[in-house]
Structure 1
Amino acid sequence: MNLSSYLEQHKSIRDEINWIQSNLTTVKVEEHAEEIALHINQLSGKLKIHLMNEDKFLYPSLIANPDMAIKQMAIDYQNEMGDLQERFKSFKDKYNVKSKLLEKKESFVEEAKVVICAIEDRILKEEKEIYLFI
């Protein structure tokens, strides 16, 4: 299994997150709503590809590991990611177009901070824990 591919995907996800974070004020949302929506959709696509790769390759190989601790960790990670994936999908569906962003600027800014923090925490956790077993 190629760890560099997962790390490259994380970098690409972080790039989208960083761009969105740099525009998390109501004034910037008004000025850049169309671009923000584009980056939300790009982030969604990148997350979808990353999660598909993990579900198809990473987790099955770790679940097949004879070490029960590694196997259980992989199962736990997979379950946690399902929750985060649903939270992000809900967020994306609420704010994936300019008009939705402009309609709910304040709630977008607050929700984006929470969702982005959860994604960043997950990436760090993967890199510091689960990727050690690849």
Structure 2
Amino acid sequence: MNIDKFKADHLAILSGIQRLRDLTRLGVPAADEIAAALVKFSTTIRLHLAAEDKFLYPSLEKSQDPQIVAMSQRFEREMADIAQRFMAFARNWNVGAKIAADFDGFRRAANLTLKPVWDRMQQENREFYPRIEAM
């Protein structure tokens, strides 16, 4: 199975997280830029999640390898919660004025939301994708 697109998405997602970190260090004056970056970033994540749900997980769950099936189901199940929390975060902080009005709240929410996304991308890159490529 060719997962190059999924791997490229991971690079874009990790880059998006880093971009948000860099902008956040600039503080309240960057609130509009942060919101714009978050909107762009959330689009990348939405498209990636849709591709996983429509193509990757269903394809893997048809595998003859029960370990792949179990791993796919576990990753899909775990990702649902992370995705839901990220989408709520993105909806809540998609306007610069909201970020500027509660910058500390935004930073706390970003840390609580983006760390699990970052960790998940690393876990998939380290465990899931190599297993898929070895099929």
TM-score after normalising by structure 2:
0.91
Q: Is the 8 A contact 2:24 2:30 kept in 1?
A: no
SS at match of 1:23: helix
Q: Is the 8 A contact 2:16 2:41 kept in 1?
A: yes
Q: Is the 8 A contact 2:38 2:90 kept in 1?
A: yes
Q: Is the 8 A contact 1:37 1:98 kept in 2?
A: yes
Aligned to 1:75: 73
Specify the code of the residue in structure 2 equivalent to 1:78: E
Aligned to 1:118: 116
Q: CA deviation at 1:2?
A: 2.2
TM-superposition CA deviations, 1:80-123 (whole Å, max 9, x none): 11111110011111110011101111011111112111111110
Specify the code of the residue in structure 2 equivalent to 1:29: G
SS at match of 2:64: coil
TM-superposition CA deviations, 1:3-47 (whole Å, max 9, x none): 22111111111221111011334xx23111111001111111000
Aligned to 1:11: 11
User: Aligned match of 2:104 in 92, 103, 106?
Assistant: 106
Specify the code of the residue in structure 2 equivalent to 1:92: A
Give aligned-pair identity as a percent: 30
Query: Structure 1 residue 21 and structure 2 residue 21: aligned?
Result: yes
TM-superposition CA deviations, 1:42-83 (whole Å, max 9, x none): 111000111111111111111111222211111111111111
Aligned to 2:86: 88
Aligned length: 132
How much is the aligned-residue C-alpha RMSD, in angstroms? 1.2
Greater Cα shift, 52-61 or 37-46? 52-61
In structure 1, runs of 5+ residues without a counterpart are: none
Q: Is the 8 A contact 2:86 2:113 kept in 1?
A: yes
